[in-house]
Structure 1
Amino acid sequence: LRLCDVSGVDDEALEVLAALFSSGSLRVLELARPANGSNNTIPITPLALMRLITAVGHGLEEIQLTDCGTAVTDEVVVEGVARLCPRLVEVGISGSEGISSEALKLFFTVNLESASRIRTLEHDSRVCRTGFQRIDFSRLGLPASTEKTGERLLQDEPEEDDDDDEGDGRRACRAAEGVNDEVLAALSCHSGGTLVELNISGADGLVHGLDALFDPKEPLGADKNKPTFVVPPPSSGGDTSRTAAAAIRNKVEAGDRDPALPALRILDVSWVRAVDDAALDRLAVEAPEIREISVWGCHRVSDCAKVRTRSGFAKLIGREREPESAALQGR
């Protein structure tokens, strides 16, 4: 069931859907942009959405809640989607406002526990205990009207230099909402081995690029009082990062280490300003099947960046910055 840009989808309509599909027969649920007429308000409430998920979640294999604004709360994400939808292989909550990073991190722990419990009790091999295949956590904490391209993400904000400590501080403050480093580590622990497509566009709470995706330090759920991701020591520059990536590549090719994202093919990190050339170098090693990467608004990614895997070069979409050497030659 896909209801995209459909007027009249309100709390009453969700109650009707809950009654229709309460048998657990629904496999796909998508609610996208349920704005109400000219005033552009979201006509559904968290309570009605929770009731719908409670009724249909047990059989769902895909759920997409796109631009549902404040209807998708921490409770809906954790107690609804994570706990009541144990068979999910695709999940998206793009454009949800005010989702905390703690809830997103807890989402993966709760889903793992729920899926494992159902699989054990029902002996149901359909339950995806090992991880999701597609995740869309883009534009979390942003107004639902923000364009997908991220056009307004940088509005009224100054450009940040690579060595701008104040800029890193602003990102750290914003990390309380949406995808931050610990959320990315929890995602990797839960779904790193199965993930085919990932969208974290607009995740401005990330401070350490994609390091947490590659190097989660604690097993998911091992100790809820410990961080899933430990901040790495300061790097002395891009050359050091690339040397580290080369060393990891040698281990992977020698069979001494498995890549972190062996099935990943499509990645969208647009408007994630912590992503740079060195992060893409590491991605080529950790995601050997990567085919397409969107980097719109990533001002640290230059024209020199290439993602070369064993099957060729991945397609980079949206590069905006020239390498410094080329810029100097043009002056």
Structure 2
Amino acid sequence: MSRNRRAAGAVRGPSSALTSFLANLGVEPSHRITTWGDTSGLNANPTDDQPTLAHDEPVISPQDQLDPAGAVTARNVVAGPSQAGDGTTELQNENKKRKRGGGSDDDSEYNEPDAKKTRAASVDSDDLDAEDPSPNRPRKSQPPIATADTAKVTPGPLKPVGSFMDCGECTKRFTVTVYTKEHPFIPSTYLCVNCCYALGIDPFAKVKKAPQKKKLPGKKEDRAKVVHYEQKKGVSALGDLCIQIIGKYIEDVEQLGDIGGINMDKVCKIISKSRRLTAETAQLFYSADREDLSMYDCTRLTPEAFITISKLCPKLQSLNLQLCGQLSTDAVTAWGKSLKQLKRVELFGPFLVRKAGWLNLFKSVGKRLEGLLVTQSPRIDLETIEVLVKSCPNLIELRLAEIGQLNDDCLAPLQSLKKLKTLDLSAPGSPLTDEAVIALLSKIGGNLETLDLTDNPDLTDEILPAIIAHCPRLRRLYLRNVVELTDEGVSAFFASLKKQNRPGLEWIDLEKGHDLKDSSLDALLAHSGTTVEKLNLLGWRDVSNDSLGGLAQCKHLKELDLGWCRQVTDFTIKDILDGCNEIESIRVWGCNQLTDAIPRKKGVRVIGVESHSI
């Protein structure tokens, strides 16, 4: 089988691993390689149909072409079927000379630079696997090791697996793998597989990963948890522990007995929080002598369970049901017939109660009804309100919050309710206007103590003088999301109250007052600073730190919301904590100037510090 290179770029036959290794190092044969045939081909003219890589090199005898390691080169591999013995004998004789320290006169040619170029690639790996008999003699075929000063490629980071990079040693392109190794002498350059072998590096060695630090138990951070500065700690009372156990095993309790109304209410809150208030567990709170009943999550109560209330609690005077989405028209009608002492009804989410149920309830209860507080009912309309006013003229508390059909026309019948002390008309289906609200306040404002006009974006500063003129007993004012209020109007409102020596307000909600600034806050504190207990200033983005410092004079302040007041600092909180002796909670969502060094106070919760929630 012939392995001759017929022409440049021609397809080569199979070669040994060592042949490929030398070829990758740039060692190529300079003359034709003959494995079988006449040995005269070594001295033949290289231009006779045989291309060569060194046309100008002198022809050297086979004996002179041994490399320093004693390996056989392309020029001395001339053994054929008829001359194998001769070739082997010559090689053995030459090796013996080298072992004795001798050599031919032409050995000096191997130290010349031109002689290095004439070395040819090996043909057979069996002939080239012989080890160097003289280890102290340097190998001339191994290229010099590159250094940082002789870097052939531009250093850079390792590219992703599958990308192409230039080898830092031979500059050839190779494919990056998970085993790609860095050059030992040139940082930030990487080696191909062949150069790894040449430099004595295992190209397929696994990369050792740095050991990960073990996380200590109990140190895992919960980023969704908001840190409160001061939490009340201590031993729970024995009664509270018993109530918690009852709430935990409420399904197994057959009878609560006489534990008092306050403890009964605590148990109801505990099981409502976990939504275990069902038709079966609700019967534990029914009693023939109960006058007040509050259930805080009635999601799992069936319509029949609501009807049962009227049968098992006939003496009820106040009924409070939250999240009563399954309350039916029949249940409300049954209440009107069976609850002969009912005076106050508070419902959140009675979506299924139709107009007929409301009309039957109002007509049955009649003048006894003093409080009707309904939130989220799509069935209450103008006719229902007219029947309510006509049948229940003694109403003291009225809440029609988030009523879809409530509009300006529904306010006209309400002008007959002269005894109202609490009025809530927040978030109506159609926003109320200044004219309708002013007309209503002029008729019923004399006894009002609480006014809630939240989420009425069409209201403006015009209602503020009407509140001053018609609501002399007002103690709680909610104007949240009334975005048309201006700084001049609010400051003039509190200044007028101060001028008329009106008593200060206790609860003030002016959330989302984006246009309210220092003058509004200064006037508010001048009038109600000594009486306010709950204050909501969320969204007052332009109020200054100096004005916020005046909150320290609010001696009775318990709850404060400073969300998105951008000028709040650690010193502002310190002044509030030092001046407000009754403060219990401060909300500071969006106050991005607060740090971890914010002051603390026992018994006070500061909620919403960004550095604690991220």
CA contact (8 A) 1:307 1:313 kept: no
Q: Which of 541, 546, 563 is the equivalent residue of 1:204? A: 541
Cα distance in structure 1, aligned partners of 2:535 and 2:548 = 15
Cα distance in structure 1, aligned partners of 2:443 and 2:498 = 20
Residue 461 of structure 2: aligned partner: 74
Q: Which of 175, 189, 197 is the equivalent residue of 2:526? A: 189
Give the match's secondary structure for 1:293.
strand
Q: Which of 481, 501, 504 is the equivalent residue of 1:95? A: 481
> Where do residues 240-251 of structure 1 align in structure 2 (5 Å cutoff)?
none
Q: Which of 289, 306, 315 is the equivalent residue of 2:599? A: 306
Q: Which of 109, 113, 116 is the equivalent residue of 2:495? A: 109
Residue 53 of structure 1: aligned partner: 441
Q: Which of 115, 136, 148 is the equivalent residue of 2:509? A: 136
Cα distance in structure 2, aligned partners of 1:83 and 1:300 = 41
Residue 156 of structure 1: aligned partner: none
How far did 1:58 drift?
A: 1.2
CA contact (8 A) 2:438 2:463 kept: yes
CA contact (8 A) 1:181 1:212 kept: no
Give the match's secondary structure for 1:135.
strand
CA contact (8 A) 2:555 2:581 kept: yes
Q: Which has the greater radius of gyration? A: 2
**Aligned in 2, Cα 1:305/1:212: closer, same or farther, shift over 3 Å?**
closer
CA contact (8 A) 2:447 2:471 kept: yes
How far did 1:314 drift?
A: 1.1
CA contact (8 A) 1:83 1:110 kept: no
1:213-272 Cα offsets, whole Å, 9 max, x none, are: 34xxxxxxxxxxxxxxxxxxxxxxxxxxxxxxxxxxxxxxxxxxxx61110010000111
How far did 1:68 drift?
A: 0.5
Residue 9 of structure 1: aligned partner: 406
> Where do residues 245-264 of structure 1 align in structure 2 (5 Å cutoff)?
260-264=553-557
Cα distance in structure 2, aligned partners of 1:84 and 1:110 = 13
CA contact (8 A) 2:506 2:531 kept: yes
Percent identity between matched residues is 29
Residue 265 of structure 1: aligned partner: 558
Residue 607 of structure 2: aligned partner: 317
Which aligned runs of 4 or more in structure 1 are off by greater than 4 angstroms?
Answer: none
**Aligned in 2, Cα 1:58/1:76: closer, same or farther, shift over 3 Å?**
same
Greater length-normalized contact order (CA 8 Å, ≥ 6 residues apart): 1
Paired positions, count: 217
**Aligned in 2, Cα 1:317/1:209: closer, same or farther, shift over 3 Å?**
farther
**Aligned in 2, Cα 1:321/1:210: closer, same or farther, shift over 3 Å?**
farther
CA contact (8 A) 1:28 1:61 kept: yes
How far did 1:210 drift?
A: 4.3
CA contact (8 A) 2:542 2:566 kept: no
CA contact (8 A) 1:196 1:266 kept: yes
Give the match's secondary structure for 1:102.
helix
TM-score (structure 1 length as normaliser): 0.62
**Aligned in 2, Cα 1:187/1:307: closer, same or farther, shift over 3 Å?**
farther
1:123-169 Cα offsets, whole Å, 9 max, x none, are: xxxxxx3311110011125xxxxxxxxxxxxxxxxxxxxxxxxxxxx
5+ residue gaps, structure 2 = 1-397
**Aligned in 2, Cα 1:4/1:208: closer, same or farther, shift over 3 Å?**
same
How far did 1:65 drift?
A: 0.8
CA RMSD of aligned residues (A): 2.0
Give the match's secondary structure for 2:488.
helix
Cα distance in structure 1, aligned partners of 2:598 and 2:399 = 38
How far did 1:211 drift?
A: 3.8
